Structure 1
Amino acid sequence: MTEAHAGGGAQSADGASPAPAKLSLTTMTAMVVGSMVGAGVFSLPNRFAQATGVIGSLIAWTIAGLGMLMLAFVFQTLAVRRPQLDAGMYAYAKAGFGEYLGFFSAFGYWASACVGNVTYWVLIMSTVGAVAPALGNGETLLAAALSSIGLWGFFFLIRRGVREATAINRIVTVAKLVPILVFIVLALFCLRPGVFAENLFGADYAGSLFHQVRSTMLVTVFVFIGVEGASVYSRHAKRREDIGRATILGFLSVLAVFASVTIVSYGILPMREIATLRQPSMGQVLQAAVGPWGNVFVSVGLIVSVLGAYLAWSLMAAEVLFVAAKDDDMPRFLRRSSAADVPVPALLMTTCLSQLVLVITLFSNDAFDFTLDLTSALSLIPYLLAAGYALKIALYRGPGATRREGTTRELVTAALATAYTAFLLYAAGLKFVLVSFIVYAPATVLFVMARREQGRILFTSRELVIFAVSVVGAVVGILAIAAGWIEL
């Protein structure tokens, strides 16, 4: 929403329809970069060192880069092929696979944003916890209380008006990149060839190369979430073709930054030491290279970056619920917006779910890793459905086609994107698939509310099967947690 949450017939509280705001290519590219560059980049050294060395990292970033590039091409293609579809992944899932899976996509994307927002607060508290031990690693009661204040503080900020929040977002998008780029440059100057060579093939705890690469996949998903940022606001674009351009430009820029942060860290400390650093590990690595001021510098940059990312994702999460409600796939109360053009009910639900997840982190073994991995897992089904829809229209020229479809390039791109997202589900493992079902299944209450408001049958036979599968998965997941088979 980075310019304004407007257009599409949104009605304010007094019945007036706000004038639509249009986004330029530069603004949309900044939105993609701003959405992706958040908490994840500051945790990369530690998370990668827990799993793999230099060679494994290069392979992982190659796979993730190509896979996410295919997804970026998918969003580019869909923006052109289906210009009538708004709100990105949610709309694509609905058009391709029906209303219920479209609802799941909308809810899953929204839920992943809410959990990701909790990750931001955990990392902020862990950062400050280095000098205030009472905050621990962001999982203590005091940390949760302060994070809650932050959650609701942002709720009231955004509630005042999206344009005010947008001005802040533009500033932090630039500010957040400075410490990251400085880190890369300083780490290159301080790189120790001997240490880098020792880290080439990973430590003895890392396992096989395949296992190493697989173990990094959820991390790469987390840091790339937001690649679809431009498509989410497709209805606000000045020119339709700018959506795809912004997606590709933003993705390639961020990929170069993320891979660089990971690789240069291996030249500062042995992999085993990096794997034990507290988060944000980027600051700890820079401290080892240039002294304590490096950690302070990165920590300040992290707080600016994470607050900016939190703002962007709160806006995007509310936008998904708002548009889904307009399309009658969510209850009608979520389509209401204030006189300041803010979807307050959707924003309130976003804040409430983040608050609930924040409380759950008090009972997790590692609050940051748990929320990071759950964010990634929840986003996989929406990504898979969007890629699957692109594959579907590449294979079949259906109603609504705007130009010749089914080109070899589009078919290959969609097939690779679908295969990549399916591999990510496998890499996530059964644990996070089941935990995702625990989140997805109860959400059907909102779907039922929407159907009842319209006087429609609650489920078709196909939808009933999908619902049954989600409930079974949720029950198995709850039993697994209760029995200790799954640890949060």
Structure 2
Amino acid sequence: MNKGKLGLWILTALVVGNMVGSGIFMLPRSLSEAASPAGVLGAWLLTGFGVLMTALVFGNLGTRKPELSGGPQIYAKELFKPGSQASILSGFMASWGYWIGNLAGNIAIITTFAGYLSTFFPILTSRAELFTVGGFTLKVGNALTFMVCTMLLWCTHFIILKGIEQAGKLNFVATAAKVAGFMLFIVVGLFAFQKGNILPFIAPRADEAGATIGLFGQINNAAVATLWAFIGVESAVVFAARAKKKVDVKRATILGLFIALAIYIGISTLVMGMLEQKILITSEKPLIDAIETVLGPVGGKLLAGVGLISLFGSTIGWVMLSAEVPYQAAKQGLFIPAFLKEGKKGIPIFSLIVTNLLGQLFIFSTVSNSISAAFDFVIYIATLSYLVPYFIASVFQLKLVITGETYENEKGRVLDAVIATLSTLYSTWVIIAGTADLKTFAFGMILLASGIFFYGTMKRHPLYTQK
């Protein structure tokens, strides 16, 4: 009966693997650019606490509402009268936004894979011109990066076609390897840490207009970037329908969060102490540059190898999750009915194909941008796409607490109310911080609003045509 189902450790590996993906490799540079060491550490602690509250909400809803599987965006429909137009529309739009966020997230991981592969094949960063058409010039490095990203995407596609459980086990092996590699990095970093590199610990930063940004402003700016590190904490919730035991969903979520948090804070702090800030801010491969200061090129290649294994596993996990989201939403009557189509072994075949075809379009961003520029662009768009479902899940938990639904007595109700309130406040704060930039906000809203063009297909959904 449990054949093809996912156990506690595979679910935990999906959480850790999806969280500790591209962020661990690229965020030290992004964060140092946005904030001083004190601001970076403050952002990690604040985000870690906020995401812990959100993770507790996910875990709680996973056990209290196990029938609502497929991700936090599913809860949107529960905020309105069952079967109403508002319920269906909100569920559809939340699922659309969450799915788009996953697409962008996939490409952040895949482009980072290409960046670390350049340690072994420097030609991937070549600025030599291949050809020019009009005002566009294609460089050798960009062309090769595009080819590598495309190959990784479609290799992952065919791995998943062989079965969800087998892909999950492969992700588990890759995650175990990455955790071991990062622990080794932390040990080396402790010996190589230079206090002078993080001084001044508190220092002002300047925005694009040249205005000075204080400590709290830096924490505010870094919060969206640090949140990207925790995107994926809901992975076990997305796969709740495939879990062997429902209680494992909550356990995997909390366990995975603490493992990832320890890795993130440890490594990001150590990297700041291993590289001078001006070097760190301009680095395309901050972890490798940091380890090479201690172990030389051999250490850099060793860590790059760990990084490639890590990112390969993360790609599997994220593509699995991305295809699962619209499939599960369609089963709930909240997404385009064509996404209900299954292949062999219960694989959401149509969803997998469409997800990866759209992902291929995102990969075209590597043709004209540097790896770090492409990464920075997609993480902001993806993060904002995730924040709305996180907010929705928190509000739904508050609704359960207020109405008393699923609570037979007062046990745990007050604590759940406090956790849900803190999670809601945190999500609201990061949404406000993340949408302060008008360009990012506008692009994110365009991506979200684009879903409305497909909403008409919901009328052909089997759940509604039978009514």
What's the TM-score, normalizing by structure 1? Answer: 0.83
Identity percentage of aligned residues = 30
**What amino acid is the match of 2:202?**
F
- CA 1:361 to 1:444, structure 2 compared with 1: closer, same or farther past 3 Å? farther
Residues 101-143 of structure 1, C-alpha deviations (whole Å, 9 max, x = no match): 2112212222111111111221122223355454239981331
The equivalent residue for 1:111 is: 100
The equivalent residue for 2:394 is: 387
- Measured in 2, the distance between the counterparts of 1:207 and 1:186 equals 33
The CA deviation at 1:455 is 9.7
- Deviating more after overlay: 154-163 vs 222-231: 154-163
- Measured in 1, the distance between the counterparts of 2:366 and 2:20 equals 23
- CA 1:432 to 1:361, structure 2 compared with 1: closer, same or farther past 3 Å? farther
- Measured in 2, the distance between the counterparts of 1:28 and 1:403 equals 29
The equivalent residue for 2:458 is: 450
The equivalent residue for 1:481 is: none
The equivalent residue for 2:109 is: 120
- Measured in 2, the distance between the counterparts of 1:59 and 1:327 equals 40
- Measured in 2, the distance between the counterparts of 1:149 and 1:37 equals 22
- CA 1:154 to 1:242, structure 2 compared with 1: closer, same or farther past 3 Å? closer
Which runs of structure 2 are paired with 1:72-471 in the superposition (5 Å)?
A: 72-97=55-80, 98-130=87-119, 132-136=121-125, 140-196=142-198, 198-202=199-203, 205=206, 207-278=213-284, 280-364=285-369, 366-398=373-405, 401-404=406-409, 407-429=413-435, 430-453=438-461
SS in 1 for 2:222: helix
- Measured in 1, the distance between the counterparts of 2:42 and 2:152 equals 38
What's the TM-score, normalizing by structure 2? Answer: 0.87
- Measured in 2, the distance between the counterparts of 1:195 and 1:331 equals 52
The equivalent residue for 1:13 is: none
CA contact (8 A) 1:75 1:244 kept: yes
CA-atom RMSD in angstroms? 2.3
Residues 441-466 of structure 1, C-alpha deviations (whole Å, 9 max, x = no match): 22223321022446969xxxxxxxxx
- Measured in 1, the distance between the counterparts of 2:273 and 2:100 equals 37
Q: Does 1:41 align with 2:19?
A: no
**What amino acid is the match of 1:189?**
F
CA contact (8 A) 2:189 2:270 kept: yes
The CA deviation at 1:361 is 4.3
SS in 2 for 1:291: helix
Residues 227-280 of structure 1, C-alpha deviations (whole Å, 9 max, x = no match): 1111112223333222212211111111111011111122222222211112x2
The CA deviation at 1:308 is 0.5
Mark the runs of 5 or more structure 1 residues left unpaired by the alignment: 1-17, 458-488
SS in 2 for 1:340: helix
- Measured in 2, the distance between the counterparts of 1:199 and 1:170 equals 40
CA contact (8 A) 1:46 1:277 kept: yes
- Measured in 1, the distance between the counterparts of 2:251 and 2:259 equals 12
The match for 2:51 among 43, 50, 68 is: 68
- CA 1:202 to 1:303, structure 2 compared with 1: closer, same or farther past 3 Å? farther
Q: How many pairs does the alignment contain?
A: 436
- CA 1:140 to 1:309, structure 2 compared with 1: closer, same or farther past 3 Å? same
**What amino acid is the match of 2:146?**
A
- CA 1:227 to 1:311, structure 2 compared with 1: closer, same or farther past 3 Å? same
- Measured in 2, the distance between the counterparts of 1:342 and 1:450 equals 22
Q: Does 1:32 align with 2:21?
A: no
Residues 158-188 of structure 1, C-alpha deviations (whole Å, 9 max, x = no match): 2233233233212101111122111111111
Residues 346-367 of structure 1, C-alpha deviations (whole Å, 9 max, x = no match): 0011101111111144345711
**What amino acid is the match of 1:120?**
I
**What amino acid is the match of 1:200?**
F
- Measured in 2, the distance between the counterparts of 1:393 and 1:340 equals 35
- Measured in 1, the distance between the counterparts of 2:116 and 2:204 equals 27
The CA deviation at 1:341 is 2.4
CA contact (8 A) 1:183 1:286 kept: yes
Mark the runs of 5 or more structure 2 residues left unpaired by the alignment: 81-86, 127-139, 207-211
- CA 1:128 to 1:24, structure 2 compared with 1: closer, same or farther past 3 Å? closer
